[in-house]
Chain A
């Protein structure tokens, strides 16, 4: 741990106490957040969402509709914050950019042969450059899980570094796809590789593989970020993605961030949710707090 990157030996990354993580998660998840602090937490969570559509069937119309939704979450409720970004495939970046106009919402694009990452380095770099040239503010890349699992950590490191270079000014989120990494030790190791190779954010999952952003995985990654910050003074962002669909789950994530990293990370520059259905659940909870009546999905736009 004392060595400076990139001389860091990833085969000796810290091991994770699984039982300890489970205990810590259940302890943090049992915290009760009510009334005004709940409303504040929900609004914060809403402001951290990367509203996402990553389907083979995505069309320009679908992306435009999602961008409209990003800008008009629920006009019946005044005083709502916007989401942080929309997240689309590279070919949809231009459409999203145009649809969002001059709003503050950012455009994030997945790249590097998302979601499998099974392609050559040249194609992944070209994919990234294309996304950035189309106007992406942020790039979500996937790591080569195959190379990682065979122990070829330097390959994974070099690939991330090369993509970071191709990103230019765009912020890079590195997807570890924790559902394919098997163990929390591997999650920790992949986090170390990503952070030291230049990731601005580390992200749990593509959303295409189950399990996705479990609280255990998120906590391990948050602890990796914390340790890296103590070691280097560099802040890294965190983005759990996939599987967080309830307002309660979002609040539990915020509790973990607060307790592990502190207030500095509690904004959408350093923490994001990758989700498609989470926004509506939060909106329904906020409407419940405003009107007193439990809400139904029929009264909220689907996309």
Chain B
């Protein structure tokens, strides 16, 4: 008897769970020849709201992890990806990549995760400073995670681009809600399955699928989102994002990059979603011996 293949339902990833969109809507993803690949959840503003709640809930725990541990978790994600290469290859090919390009993109994405895993316990030293001041104080400036970051992932690079946008944000101790590429969402959701089995606490990364135009306003206006990363070059959307985000002085970063370029990675992407905190510490009060430093 001929066996009927079991198709995967591509769902959202919110708070470590895989719910369908609360709206019940979907759009059909087709390949170049018009063959149906899958029905994809068309996430709504309420899905986004729920994801922000999950991200906010996870923030204290994730930002409280020590840098070394965050590094291990990111590395673990890379490990899990490596073991599932063939699945991601198949999905990228379904979405129109050549075999060669797909293999290259996956290697690049995995390496990029390892790259940012390495930076977890190093960016702090690089970007911190001890500042000269007039009075007898130690004056430190050091980066702290912003909080919840909304990410509009790049449309063209559905996999490497998504990871390039997410990795620096979570390496710095933030939580994020990412809207996957509308045209290439398959690997985003499969990536969520990797995250769910990678020791990454639920809610640190939330992934939605849907329409950028529809969700961008809500991503930019949400008062509990601290920063917005927009990957793309649509001028109207960038303008809308910047104007709407001004309501709670949310910081907006616009990246229009070729993420499949191996050079497109650096610790300044981590720094973007950090806030610099400066602390004054009286010199006299250090140590009980009364030593003057």
Measuring CB to CB, which residues of chain A are less than 8 angstroms from any residue of chain B? Answer: 292-299
Contact = CB atoms under 8 A, between A and B. Distances in A.
B65 to A, nearest CB: 22
Contacts of A297: 56, 224
Contacts of B56: 296-297
Interface string B215-227: 0001001111100
5 contacts: A293-B218, A294-B224, A295-B223, A295-B224, A296-B225
Interface of B: 45, 49, 52, 56, 218, 221-225, 247-248
Contacts of A292: 221
B221 A299 contact: no
A296 B45 CA distance: 15
Given A294-B221, A296-B248, A297-B56, 6 more contacts: A293-B218, A294-B218, A294-B224, A296-B223, A296-B225, A299-B223
Task: Count chain A CB atoms within 10 A of each CB in B52, B223, B248 and give the residue with the most.
Answer: B223
B56 to A, nearest CB: 8
Contacts of A298: 223-224
Contacts of A296: 56, 222-225, 248
Contacts of B224: 294-298
Contacts of B222: 293-294, 296
Contacts of A294: 45, 49, 52, 218, 221-224
Contacts of B45: 294
A292 B218 CA distance: 9
Given A298-B223, A298-B224, A299-B223, A293 B52 contact: no
Contacts of B225: 296
Contacts of B223: 293-296, 298-299
Task: Count chain B CB atoms within 10 A of each CB in A292, A296, A298, A299 and give the residue with the most.
Answer: A296
B96 to A, nearest CB: 35
A292 B45 CA distance: 11
A198 to B, nearest CB: 43
Which 8 pairs of residues, A with B, have the shortest CB-CB distance? Answer: A296-B224, A296-B223, A293-B221, A294-B222, A295-B223, A294-B49, A293-B223, A299-B223
Nearest to B45: A294
A59 B56 CA distance: 30
A147 B224 CA distance: 48
A298 B222 CA distance: 12
A124 to B, nearest CB: 40
A296 B227 CA distance: 13
Task: Count chain B CB atoms within 10 A of each CB in A292, A293, A294, A295 and give the residue with the most.
Answer: A294
Task: Count chain B CB atoms within 10 A of each CB in A292, A293, A299 and give the residue with the most.
Answer: A293
A32 to B, nearest CB: 12
Contacts of B221: 292-294
A297 B247 CA distance: 15
Contacts of A293: 218, 221-223, 247
Nearest to B222: A294
A217 B49 CA distance: 29
B16 to A, nearest CB: 20
A164 B107 CA distance: 75
A23 to B, nearest CB: 23
A293 B48 CA distance: 12
Nearest to A287: B223
A297 B60 CA distance: 14
B244 to A, nearest CB: 8
B140 to A, nearest CB: 25
A297 B222 CA distance: 11
A246 to B, nearest CB: 10
Nearest to B46: A294
A292 B247 CA distance: 12
Contacts of B247: 293
Contacts of B49: 294
B228 to A, nearest CB: 13
Nearest to A295: B223
